[in-house]
Structure 1
Amino acid sequence: MTNTSAHPDDPHYITRSGWLRAAVLGANDGIVSVSSLVVGVAAADPSPRAVLIAGVAGLVAGAMSMAAGEYVSVSSQSDTERADIERERTALAEMPDEEFKELVAIYEGRGLSPATAQAVARELTENNALEAHVRDELGLSEVHAANPLQAALASGATFSVAAAVPVLAAYLAPASAIIPTVLVVTVLALVILGALGAKAGAAPLLPAILRVVGWGVFAMTATAGVGWLFGVSV
Protein backbone atom coordinates (compact mmCIF):
# COMPACT_ATOMS: atom_id res chain seq x y z
CA MET A 1 0.00 0.00 0.00
CA THR A 2 1.33 3.43 -0.89
CA ASN A 3 2.33 5.65 2.03
CA THR A 4 0.89 9.11 1.42
CA SER A 5 2.76 10.79 4.27
CA ALA A 6 5.10 13.60 3.29
CA HIS A 7 7.53 12.31 5.89
CA PRO A 8 6.86 8.63 6.58
CA ASP A 9 9.86 8.41 8.93
CA ASP A 10 8.38 11.13 11.17
CA PRO A 11 4.61 10.45 11.48
CA HIS A 12 2.06 12.67 13.19
CA TYR A 13 0.15 11.41 16.22
CA ILE A 14 -2.77 13.85 16.25
CA THR A 15 -5.05 11.12 14.87
CA ARG A 16 -4.72 9.37 18.22
CA SER A 17 -5.90 12.36 20.27
CA GLY A 18 -9.54 11.25 20.56
CA TRP A 19 -9.06 7.75 21.93
CA LEU A 20 -5.80 8.58 23.72
CA ARG A 21 -7.47 11.29 25.81
CA ALA A 22 -10.27 8.93 26.79
CA ALA A 23 -7.84 6.08 27.49
CA VAL A 24 -5.58 8.12 29.75
CA LEU A 25 -8.59 9.59 31.56
CA GLY A 26 -10.06 6.15 32.14
CA ALA A 27 -6.80 4.61 33.32
CA ASN A 28 -5.97 7.51 35.62
CA ASP A 29 -9.44 7.45 37.17
CA GLY A 30 -9.31 3.68 37.52
CA ILE A 31 -6.01 3.74 39.39
CA VAL A 32 -6.78 6.68 41.67
CA SER A 33 -10.44 6.09 42.50
CA VAL A 34 -10.25 2.35 43.05
CA SER A 35 -6.99 2.68 44.96
CA SER A 36 -8.64 5.18 47.30
CA LEU A 37 -11.63 2.86 47.70
CA VAL A 38 -9.45 -0.16 48.45
CA VAL A 39 -7.40 1.75 51.00
CA GLY A 40 -10.57 2.98 52.70
CA VAL A 41 -12.04 -0.51 52.96
CA ALA A 42 -8.73 -1.99 54.10
CA ALA A 43 -8.53 0.59 56.88
CA ALA A 44 -11.91 -0.58 58.17
CA ASP A 45 -11.67 -4.28 57.39
CA PRO A 46 -8.35 -5.63 56.06
CA SER A 47 -9.70 -9.10 55.26
CA PRO A 48 -8.91 -10.17 51.66
CA ARG A 49 -12.58 -10.98 51.01
CA ALA A 50 -13.83 -7.53 51.98
CA VAL A 51 -11.09 -5.79 50.03
CA LEU A 52 -11.67 -7.93 46.95
CA ILE A 53 -15.44 -7.41 46.95
CA ALA A 54 -15.08 -3.65 47.35
CA GLY A 55 -12.36 -3.43 44.71
CA VAL A 56 -14.21 -5.49 42.12
CA ALA A 57 -17.44 -3.58 42.77
CA GLY A 58 -15.58 -0.29 42.32
CA LEU A 59 -13.92 -1.59 39.16
CA VAL A 60 -17.18 -2.68 37.52
CA ALA A 61 -19.17 0.38 38.57
CA GLY A 62 -16.37 2.75 37.60
CA ALA A 63 -15.80 1.16 34.20
CA MET A 64 -19.50 1.34 33.35
CA SER A 65 -19.71 4.91 34.61
CA MET A 66 -16.64 6.02 32.64
CA ALA A 67 -17.81 4.35 29.43
CA ALA A 68 -21.33 5.76 29.74
CA GLY A 69 -20.04 9.20 30.66
CA GLU A 70 -17.65 9.33 27.73
CA TYR A 71 -20.32 8.11 25.32
CA VAL A 72 -22.89 10.66 26.47
CA SER A 73 -20.49 13.61 26.60
CA VAL A 74 -18.81 12.88 23.27
CA SER A 75 -22.21 12.24 21.70
CA SER A 76 -23.23 15.73 22.80
CA GLN A 77 -20.11 17.10 21.13
CA SER A 78 -20.88 15.10 17.99
CA ASP A 79 -24.46 16.40 17.93
CA THR A 80 -23.19 19.97 18.15
CA GLU A 81 -20.74 19.37 15.30
CA ARG A 82 -23.43 17.89 13.06
CA ALA A 83 -25.80 20.75 13.86
CA ASP A 84 -23.15 23.31 12.90
CA ILE A 85 -22.44 21.47 9.67
CA GLU A 86 -26.15 21.49 8.79
CA ARG A 87 -26.36 25.22 9.51
CA GLU A 88 -23.38 25.76 7.22
CA ARG A 89 -24.99 23.64 4.51
CA THR A 90 -28.15 25.77 4.74
CA ALA A 91 -26.17 29.02 4.65
CA LEU A 92 -24.30 27.90 1.54
CA ALA A 93 -27.60 27.12 -0.19
CA GLU A 94 -29.34 30.34 0.83
CA MET A 95 -26.52 32.93 0.66
CA PRO A 96 -23.53 31.55 -1.25
CA ASP A 97 -22.05 34.99 -1.99
CA GLU A 98 -21.86 35.94 1.69
CA GLU A 99 -20.34 32.59 2.55
CA PHE A 100 -17.76 33.00 -0.20
CA LYS A 101 -16.77 36.41 1.15
CA GLU A 102 -16.51 34.91 4.61
CA LEU A 103 -14.12 32.26 3.32
CA VAL A 104 -12.01 34.90 1.58
CA ALA A 105 -11.82 36.91 4.80
CA ILE A 106 -10.65 33.82 6.69
CA TYR A 107 -7.76 33.29 4.27
CA GLU A 108 -6.84 36.96 4.31
CA GLY A 109 -6.79 36.79 8.11
CA ARG A 110 -4.27 33.96 7.84
CA GLY A 111 -1.91 36.12 5.83
CA LEU A 112 -2.84 35.58 2.19
CA SER A 113 -3.08 38.57 -0.13
CA PRO A 114 -6.62 39.51 -1.25
CA ALA A 115 -6.00 38.17 -4.75
CA THR A 116 -4.59 34.87 -3.49
CA ALA A 117 -7.35 34.54 -0.90
CA GLN A 118 -9.94 35.05 -3.65
CA ALA A 119 -8.30 32.42 -5.85
CA VAL A 120 -7.98 29.87 -3.02
CA ALA A 121 -11.58 30.42 -1.87
CA ARG A 122 -12.88 30.10 -5.42
CA GLU A 123 -11.04 26.86 -6.17
CA LEU A 124 -11.98 25.26 -2.85
CA THR A 125 -15.61 26.35 -3.26
CA GLU A 126 -15.77 24.85 -6.74
CA ASN A 127 -14.27 21.62 -5.46
CA ASN A 128 -16.33 21.21 -2.27
CA ALA A 129 -17.74 24.33 -0.67
CA LEU A 130 -19.16 22.62 2.40
CA GLU A 131 -15.91 20.80 3.15
CA ALA A 132 -13.96 24.06 2.87
CA HIS A 133 -16.26 25.88 5.29
CA VAL A 134 -16.42 22.98 7.74
CA ARG A 135 -12.64 22.78 7.84
CA ASP A 136 -11.65 26.46 7.70
CA GLU A 137 -14.63 28.23 9.27
CA LEU A 138 -15.76 25.68 11.86
CA GLY A 139 -12.34 24.13 12.43
CA LEU A 140 -13.63 20.59 12.04
CA SER A 141 -12.00 17.67 10.27
CA GLU A 142 -12.18 13.90 10.18
CA VAL A 143 -9.12 13.72 12.43
CA HIS A 144 -10.81 15.71 15.21
CA ALA A 145 -14.36 14.51 14.69
CA ALA A 146 -16.04 13.25 17.86
CA ASN A 147 -16.36 9.45 18.04
CA PRO A 148 -18.57 8.49 21.02
CA LEU A 149 -18.18 4.71 20.73
CA GLN A 150 -14.40 4.87 20.40
CA ALA A 151 -14.12 7.13 23.44
CA ALA A 152 -16.46 4.95 25.51
CA LEU A 153 -14.61 1.72 24.70
CA ALA A 154 -11.18 3.25 25.31
CA SER A 155 -12.19 4.78 28.62
CA GLY A 156 -14.06 1.76 29.93
CA ALA A 157 -11.34 -0.71 28.93
CA THR A 158 -8.44 1.27 30.36
CA PHE A 159 -10.36 1.98 33.57
CA SER A 160 -10.89 -1.77 34.04
CA VAL A 161 -7.26 -2.70 33.42
CA ALA A 162 -5.87 0.11 35.56
CA ALA A 163 -8.33 -0.43 38.41
CA ALA A 164 -7.34 -4.10 38.58
CA VAL A 165 -3.82 -3.07 39.64
CA PRO A 166 -4.64 -1.75 43.15
CA VAL A 167 -7.27 -4.47 43.61
CA LEU A 168 -4.73 -7.24 42.96
CA ALA A 169 -2.08 -5.48 45.03
CA ALA A 170 -4.44 -5.29 48.00
CA TYR A 171 -5.62 -8.87 47.59
CA LEU A 172 -2.11 -10.32 47.38
CA ALA A 173 -0.56 -8.18 50.13
CA PRO A 174 -0.49 -9.29 53.78
CA ALA A 175 -3.43 -7.89 55.75
CA SER A 176 -1.10 -5.77 57.86
CA ALA A 177 0.52 -4.17 54.80
CA ILE A 178 -2.41 -3.58 52.45
CA ILE A 179 -2.45 0.20 52.72
CA PRO A 180 1.28 0.90 52.13
CA THR A 181 1.40 -1.76 49.42
CA VAL A 182 -1.53 -0.24 47.54
CA LEU A 183 -0.09 3.26 47.83
CA VAL A 184 3.32 2.22 46.48
CA VAL A 185 1.81 0.16 43.67
CA THR A 186 -0.53 3.03 42.78
CA VAL A 187 2.31 5.52 42.42
CA LEU A 188 4.26 3.04 40.29
CA ALA A 189 1.17 2.45 38.15
CA LEU A 190 0.75 6.21 37.67
CA VAL A 191 4.38 6.48 36.57
CA ILE A 192 3.82 3.73 34.01
CA LEU A 193 0.58 5.34 32.83
CA GLY A 194 2.28 8.70 32.32
CA ALA A 195 5.09 7.04 30.38
CA LEU A 196 2.73 5.01 28.19
CA GLY A 197 0.57 8.07 27.46
CA ALA A 198 3.61 10.08 26.47
CA LYS A 199 4.92 7.24 24.31
CA ALA A 200 1.59 6.76 22.53
CA GLY A 201 1.41 10.46 21.72
CA ALA A 202 5.14 10.94 21.07
CA ALA A 203 5.20 13.59 23.82
CA PRO A 204 8.00 14.45 26.29
CA LEU A 205 8.25 11.72 28.92
CA LEU A 206 9.05 13.55 32.16
CA PRO A 207 6.30 16.22 32.05
CA ALA A 208 3.68 13.55 31.32
CA ILE A 209 4.84 11.38 34.23
CA LEU A 210 5.01 14.30 36.67
CA ARG A 211 1.56 15.49 35.62
CA VAL A 212 -0.11 12.09 36.07
CA VAL A 213 1.68 11.23 39.32
CA GLY A 214 1.28 14.71 40.78
CA TRP A 215 -2.46 14.95 40.21
CA GLY A 216 -3.00 11.34 41.22
CA VAL A 217 -1.18 11.78 44.53
CA PHE A 218 -3.02 15.07 45.08
CA ALA A 219 -6.38 13.34 44.53
CA MET A 220 -5.56 10.56 46.98
CA THR A 221 -4.24 13.05 49.54
CA ALA A 222 -7.40 15.13 49.23
CA THR A 223 -9.50 12.00 49.75
CA ALA A 224 -7.50 11.07 52.83
CA GLY A 225 -7.85 14.65 54.08
CA VAL A 226 -11.63 14.49 53.86
CA GLY A 227 -11.59 11.28 55.87
CA TRP A 228 -9.31 12.80 58.48
CA LEU A 229 -11.46 15.93 58.70
CA PHE A 230 -14.61 13.94 59.43
CA GLY A 231 -12.87 11.30 61.47
CA VAL A 232 -13.44 8.53 58.93
CA SER A 233 -10.86 6.25 57.35
CA VAL A 234 -10.87 6.70 53.56
Structure 2
Amino acid sequence: MTKVTPRIRAQIWRERVVDVNDGILGVAGLLSGLVTADLRSTTIIVTAVVAISAGATSMAAMRYTEASFNRDAIMTEIAETKRRLALTPQEEYDELVDIYLDKGLSDRLAHEVAQELSAHNALEAHIDDELDLDERDFQSPVTAGLTAALAFLVGALMPALIALLVPPYNQLIVTLGAVTLSLGITSFVGAKFGHTHPARTIIRAVSFGLLTLAIASGVGELAD
Protein backbone atom coordinates (compact mmCIF):
# COMPACT_ATOMS: atom_id res chain seq x y z
CA MET A 1 0.00 0.00 0.00
CA THR A 2 2.87 2.36 0.68
CA LYS A 3 5.32 1.15 -1.94
CA VAL A 4 7.04 3.97 -3.81
CA THR A 5 6.29 3.48 -7.50
CA PRO A 6 8.07 5.06 -10.49
CA ARG A 7 4.90 7.02 -11.28
CA ILE A 8 4.85 8.54 -7.81
CA ARG A 9 8.56 9.35 -7.91
CA ALA A 10 7.98 11.14 -11.21
CA GLN A 11 5.10 13.11 -9.70
CA ILE A 12 7.21 14.12 -6.69
CA TRP A 13 10.04 15.32 -8.95
CA ARG A 14 7.64 17.34 -11.10
CA GLU A 15 6.20 19.05 -8.02
CA ARG A 16 9.62 19.93 -6.63
CA VAL A 17 10.77 21.31 -9.99
CA VAL A 18 7.65 23.48 -10.12
CA ASP A 19 8.46 24.76 -6.62
CA VAL A 20 12.04 25.56 -7.61
CA ASN A 21 10.86 27.36 -10.72
CA ASP A 22 8.37 29.33 -8.64
CA GLY A 23 11.28 30.53 -6.53
CA ILE A 24 13.31 31.47 -9.60
CA LEU A 25 10.55 33.35 -11.39
CA GLY A 26 8.83 34.84 -8.37
CA VAL A 27 11.94 36.57 -7.09
CA ALA A 28 13.60 37.21 -10.47
CA GLY A 29 10.45 38.78 -11.87
CA LEU A 30 10.03 41.01 -8.83
CA LEU A 31 13.65 42.15 -8.89
CA SER A 32 13.56 42.79 -12.65
CA GLY A 33 10.61 45.10 -12.14
CA LEU A 34 12.40 46.94 -9.36
CA VAL A 35 15.58 47.33 -11.42
CA THR A 36 13.73 48.82 -14.37
CA ALA A 37 11.89 51.11 -11.96
CA ASP A 38 15.38 52.40 -11.07
CA LEU A 39 15.05 51.90 -7.34
CA ARG A 40 18.02 51.98 -4.98
CA SER A 41 20.11 48.84 -4.46
CA THR A 42 19.21 48.74 -0.76
CA THR A 43 15.52 48.72 -1.59
CA ILE A 44 16.00 45.91 -4.08
CA ILE A 45 17.95 43.77 -1.61
CA VAL A 46 15.44 44.29 1.20
CA THR A 47 12.61 43.49 -1.18
CA ALA A 48 14.40 40.31 -2.26
CA VAL A 49 14.71 39.15 1.35
CA VAL A 50 11.04 39.89 2.02
CA ALA A 51 9.96 38.15 -1.20
CA ILE A 52 11.99 35.04 -0.41
CA SER A 53 10.68 34.84 3.15
CA ALA A 54 7.08 35.38 2.15
CA GLY A 55 7.34 33.09 -0.87
CA ALA A 56 8.89 30.19 1.02
CA THR A 57 6.37 30.52 3.85
CA SER A 58 3.48 30.71 1.42
CA MET A 59 4.75 27.69 -0.51
CA ALA A 60 5.14 25.68 2.69
CA ALA A 61 1.67 26.66 3.89
CA MET A 62 0.09 25.79 0.55
CA ARG A 63 1.71 22.33 0.33
CA TYR A 64 1.00 21.65 4.02
CA THR A 65 -2.65 22.58 3.64
CA GLU A 66 -2.97 20.55 0.45
CA ALA A 67 -1.40 17.45 2.02
CA SER A 68 -3.46 17.85 5.22
CA PHE A 69 -6.72 18.18 3.29
CA ASN A 70 -5.86 15.17 1.15
CA ARG A 71 -4.87 13.02 4.11
CA ASP A 72 -8.00 13.97 6.08
CA ALA A 73 -10.17 13.03 3.11
CA ILE A 74 -8.34 9.72 2.73
CA MET A 75 -8.70 8.88 6.42
CA THR A 76 -12.43 9.56 6.16
CA GLU A 77 -12.71 7.21 3.17
CA ILE A 78 -10.77 4.49 4.96
CA ALA A 79 -12.92 4.83 8.08
CA GLU A 80 -16.07 4.57 5.95
CA THR A 81 -14.71 1.50 4.16
CA LYS A 82 -13.85 -0.10 7.50
CA ARG A 83 -17.38 0.61 8.73
CA ARG A 84 -18.95 -0.95 5.65
CA LEU A 85 -16.73 -4.03 5.95
CA ALA A 86 -18.04 -4.55 9.48
CA LEU A 87 -21.68 -3.98 8.56
CA THR A 88 -21.99 -5.43 5.05
CA PRO A 89 -18.99 -7.68 4.36
CA GLN A 90 -20.71 -9.55 1.51
CA GLU A 91 -21.47 -6.34 -0.39
CA GLU A 92 -17.87 -5.23 0.01
CA TYR A 93 -16.66 -8.62 -1.21
CA ASP A 94 -18.93 -8.31 -4.26
CA GLU A 95 -17.45 -4.88 -4.96
CA LEU A 96 -13.97 -6.39 -5.04
CA VAL A 97 -15.15 -9.09 -7.43
CA ASP A 98 -16.64 -6.46 -9.74
CA ILE A 99 -13.36 -4.51 -9.67
CA TYR A 100 -11.38 -7.57 -10.76
CA LEU A 101 -13.95 -8.43 -13.42
CA ASP A 102 -13.59 -4.90 -14.81
CA LYS A 103 -9.82 -5.45 -14.94
CA GLY A 104 -10.35 -8.43 -17.22
CA LEU A 105 -10.18 -11.40 -14.86
CA SER A 106 -12.48 -14.34 -15.42
CA ASP A 107 -15.42 -14.77 -13.06
CA ARG A 108 -13.76 -17.70 -11.30
CA LEU A 109 -10.42 -15.99 -10.92
CA ALA A 110 -12.02 -12.71 -9.78
CA HIS A 111 -13.79 -14.58 -6.98
CA GLU A 112 -10.62 -16.43 -6.02
CA VAL A 113 -8.55 -13.23 -5.86
CA ALA A 114 -11.22 -11.39 -3.88
CA GLN A 115 -11.53 -14.30 -1.48
CA GLU A 116 -7.76 -14.64 -0.97
CA LEU A 117 -7.20 -10.93 -0.42
CA SER A 118 -10.22 -10.55 1.83
CA ALA A 119 -9.06 -13.46 3.98
CA HIS A 120 -5.59 -11.95 4.26
CA ASN A 121 -6.60 -8.30 4.89
CA ALA A 122 -9.94 -7.12 3.56
CA LEU A 123 -9.36 -3.47 4.46
CA GLU A 124 -6.00 -3.37 2.70
CA ALA A 125 -7.50 -5.01 -0.38
CA HIS A 126 -10.16 -2.29 -0.58
CA ILE A 127 -7.62 0.48 0.02
CA ASP A 128 -5.41 -0.85 -2.78
CA ASP A 129 -8.04 -1.73 -5.36
CA GLU A 130 -11.24 0.14 -4.57
CA LEU A 131 -9.88 3.43 -3.25
CA ASP A 132 -6.75 3.26 -5.47
CA LEU A 133 -4.51 4.91 -2.89
CA ASP A 134 -0.73 5.09 -2.88
CA GLU A 135 2.03 6.43 -0.63
CA ARG A 136 1.46 10.00 -1.82
CA ASP A 137 -1.95 9.95 -0.16
CA PHE A 138 -0.31 9.31 3.21
CA GLN A 139 2.43 11.92 2.88
CA SER A 140 3.22 13.88 6.02
CA PRO A 141 1.92 17.46 5.65
CA VAL A 142 4.99 18.73 7.53
CA THR A 143 7.32 16.95 5.10
CA ALA A 144 5.37 18.28 2.13
CA GLY A 145 5.52 21.83 3.46
CA LEU A 146 9.21 21.78 4.37
CA THR A 147 10.38 20.25 1.08
CA ALA A 148 8.31 22.76 -0.88
CA ALA A 149 9.77 25.66 1.09
CA LEU A 150 13.29 24.32 0.60
CA ALA A 151 12.72 23.94 -3.16
CA PHE A 152 11.45 27.52 -3.35
CA LEU A 153 14.50 28.78 -1.45
CA VAL A 154 16.85 26.91 -3.80
CA GLY A 155 15.18 28.58 -6.79
CA ALA A 156 15.10 32.02 -5.18
CA LEU A 157 18.79 31.88 -4.27
CA MET A 158 19.95 32.66 -7.81
CA PRO A 159 18.12 35.99 -8.34
CA ALA A 160 18.89 36.96 -4.74
CA LEU A 161 22.63 36.52 -5.33
CA ILE A 162 22.37 38.60 -8.48
CA ALA A 163 20.74 41.40 -6.48
CA LEU A 164 23.55 41.21 -3.94
CA LEU A 165 26.58 40.80 -6.20
CA VAL A 166 25.81 42.33 -9.60
CA PRO A 167 25.82 46.11 -10.17
CA PRO A 168 22.31 47.48 -10.87
CA TYR A 169 23.15 48.49 -14.46
CA ASN A 170 23.99 44.85 -15.29
CA GLN A 171 21.36 43.11 -13.20
CA LEU A 172 18.66 42.91 -15.86
CA ILE A 173 20.79 41.24 -18.53
CA VAL A 174 22.47 38.93 -15.99
CA THR A 175 19.08 37.97 -14.57
CA LEU A 176 17.78 37.24 -18.05
CA GLY A 177 20.66 34.90 -18.80
CA ALA A 178 20.63 33.26 -15.37
CA VAL A 179 16.87 32.63 -15.46
CA THR A 180 17.11 31.10 -18.94
CA LEU A 181 19.94 28.81 -17.84
CA SER A 182 18.33 27.90 -14.51
CA LEU A 183 14.94 27.10 -16.01
CA GLY A 184 16.65 25.04 -18.69
CA ILE A 185 18.50 22.99 -16.07
CA THR A 186 15.56 22.47 -13.73
CA SER A 187 13.26 21.61 -16.62
CA PHE A 188 15.76 19.09 -18.00
CA VAL A 189 16.14 17.45 -14.58
CA GLY A 190 12.37 17.43 -14.09
CA ALA A 191 11.80 15.94 -17.54
CA LYS A 192 14.36 13.20 -16.96
CA PHE A 193 13.01 12.14 -13.59
CA GLY A 194 9.40 12.85 -14.57
CA HIS A 195 9.67 10.88 -17.84
CA THR A 196 8.50 13.73 -20.08
CA HIS A 197 9.96 15.11 -23.32
CA PRO A 198 12.99 17.29 -22.33
CA ALA A 199 12.89 19.69 -25.29
CA ARG A 200 9.19 20.51 -24.95
CA THR A 201 9.48 20.87 -21.17
CA ILE A 202 12.45 23.23 -21.47
CA ILE A 203 10.85 25.34 -24.21
CA ARG A 204 7.65 25.77 -22.21
CA ALA A 205 9.42 26.70 -18.98
CA VAL A 206 11.90 29.10 -20.57
CA SER A 207 9.22 30.76 -22.72
CA PHE A 208 6.94 31.48 -19.79
CA GLY A 209 9.93 32.52 -17.70
CA LEU A 210 11.03 35.11 -20.24
CA LEU A 211 7.44 36.29 -20.59
CA THR A 212 7.29 36.76 -16.81
CA LEU A 213 10.47 38.83 -16.83
CA ALA A 214 9.24 40.89 -19.77
CA ILE A 215 5.96 41.73 -18.05
CA ALA A 216 7.66 42.52 -14.75
CA SER A 217 10.22 44.74 -16.46
CA GLY A 218 7.51 46.51 -18.44
CA VAL A 219 5.54 47.27 -15.30
CA GLY A 220 8.71 48.54 -13.62
CA GLU A 221 9.44 50.77 -16.60
CA LEU A 222 5.95 52.27 -16.38
CA ALA A 223 6.48 52.97 -12.69
CA ASP A 224 9.83 54.70 -13.29
TM-score (norm. length: structure 2)? 0.88
Structure 1 stretches lacking a partner, 5+ long? 1-10
1:150 deviates by: 2.1
1:168-179 alignment, distance < 5 Å: 168-179=161-172
Aligned twin of 1:74: 67
Identity %: 35
The amino acid of 1:52's aligned partner reads I
1:145 deviates by: 3.2
Residue 113, structure 1, aligned to residue 106, structure 2:
yes
Aligned twin of 2:150: 157
Kept in 2: contact 1:22–1:152 (CA 8 A): no
1:152 deviates by: 1.0
Aligned twin of 2:116: 123
Cα-Cα RMSD: 2.4
Residue 146, structure 1, aligned to residue 139, structure 2:
yes
The amino acid of 1:108's aligned partner reads L
1:169 deviates by: 1.7
Kept in 2: contact 1:32–1:216 (CA 8 A): yes
Counterpart Cα distance in 1 of 2:214 and 2:41: 24
The amino acid of 1:166's aligned partner reads P
The amino acid of 1:58's aligned partner reads A
Which one is further off, 180-189 or 121-130?
Answer: 180-189
Kept in 2: contact 1:74–1:151 (CA 8 A): yes
Counterpart Cα distance in 1 of 2:61 and 2:136: 23
Q: How many residues align?
A: 222
1:142 deviates by: 2.7
Aligned twin of 1:181: 174
Kept in 2: contact 1:78–1:145 (CA 8 A): yes
Residue 232, structure 1, aligned to residue 223, structure 2:
yes
Residue 95, structure 1, aligned to residue 95, structure 2:
no
Aligned twin of 1:104: 97
Kept in 1: contact 2:11–2:194 (CA 8 A): no
Kept in 1: contact 2:67–2:139 (CA 8 A): yes
SS in 2 for 1:139: coil
SS in 2 for 1:138: coil
1:187-202 alignment, distance < 5 Å: 187-202=180-195
Kept in 1: contact 2:30–2:216 (CA 8 A): no
Deviating runs (4+, > 6 A) in structure 1? none
The amino acid of 1:50's aligned partner reads T
Kept in 2: contact 1:28–1:193 (CA 8 A): yes
Kept in 1: contact 2:37–2:223 (CA 8 A): no
Greater share of helix residues, 1 or 2?
Answer: 2
1:208 deviates by: 2.7
Aligned twin of 1:24: 17
Structure 2 stretches lacking a partner, 5+ long? none
TM-score (norm. length: structure 1)? 0.85
